[in-house]
Each structure stands twice: as structure tokens, then as C-alpha cells.
Chains A and B, each alone.
Chain A
């Protein structure tokens, strides 16, 4: 079945460092891909999404490109801030199946000043 694999954390960076969180997927169809962020003590928020191959999603300085050839949707940010400390989840849509999403296990990011 369809699945999502994201890099294990925790990831620890210094402020202004470059961030990459890897996400790869397996899917039989043409899913949409998502990144969600969860700040401490809160629910998940949509960070960005892409609905077809070669689309780039972007928000708050974060970017991810839907790469069908490598089945990847890696999250990047050029210069992280302490306020980016959170858990990041990659997900894909279970096409046609009641709008369910298939989730990665999450990657914890800690940014130190």
C-alpha cells in the first residue's frame, strides 16, 4: 500500500542554518503531498502542499518540490529561526479514499540561538 517515509529526528540546528527534512513516498496513483507543522502543545497546521509533479509548495520561507522521478517531497528552508522549532509531518493523500491522508512519523526540529 501507499506509504510515507521521513527522516528520523531529532534534528538540531543553530539559528540561520539551512534545513532539509527528507520525505519519500510510495504511491500507486498521483497523490497530493503535504507538509504539516506541529508547535509544542498545539494541533497540526498545514505548512504547504503540492498537487502534481514538479509543483513547488512554499510558505513562511519553507519550500518543497513534488519530484515524481525520485518519489520525494523534501522540506527546505534557507535560514531557520528559533521559532521554527516544532515537529514536521509529511503526508500524502489516499486518492479517492474519503480524503484520508497517509502520514510519516514526524521529524522533530530544535533550533538553538
Chain B
């Protein structure tokens, strides 16, 4: 199994508060991705990174920001959480091939 951890695994927060989710990898892979998974929508890409300090937007990036200051960590920040951001968030990594490897997910509930 690829070495990917996500923290926290579960979080409950209130509308309007900032939230940061962390993805940590031990594989030294170049590419990292943040997805959200919602019923009826499958997986949607929020942001991705193609190297340290190199990031770009995905299809549902509004209200989210990311940072990658070192290879192993990719942070996702909800600047001011809204109820529509209640979801399950997955981090994925990719290295020498196109295959992506996924973390265990973070369940976020915004009240």
C-alpha cells in the first residue's frame, strides 16, 4: 500500500470557520491531488500539485486553497467553511506512472 495518511480523519466545524486538512505521503511522489466525494457526483478534483510550490485549480476550486511547501505534505484549506462543503475529502498521489493512489479520506461536517 502506498504510504498516504490524511488528518484529521473526521472533523465537525461551524459555518464561517477556517479548516485545514493535511495529506502526508512517504512515497516521494511528485503529483498530489485533492478530491471531494459526494453522492451523485462521484469524485471531483479540487486542486492538484505537480511539484513543491506548484499547484493548480481543479473543477471545483472555489472556496478552497492549497499549499505544498515540501514534497511530502499537501494542505487543503477551506477559507470560510460552508454547509455545501460538507463532504468526504480524499488525497491522492501519483509518481512514475499515471496510476493514482488514494488516502483513507477525511469526513468533514460543516454545521
A interface list, Cβ under 8 A from B: 32, 34, 36, 42-46, 49, 89, 93, 98-101, 103-106
Contact = CB atoms under 8 A, between A and B. Distances in A.
A5 to B, nearest CB: 11
* Most chain A CB within a 10 A radius of its CB, from B43, B48, B56: B43
A103 B43 contact: yes
A61 to B, nearest CB: 20
Contacts of B102: 36, 43-45
Contacts, number: 44
B43 A43 contact: no
Given A44-B90, A98-B31, 6 more contacts: A42-B105, A43-B90, A45-B102, A89-B43, A99-B50, A105-B41
Nearest to B98: A93
Contacts of B45: 100
Closest 3 CB pairs of A and B: A43-B102, A105-B42, A93-B98
A89 B104 CA distance: 16
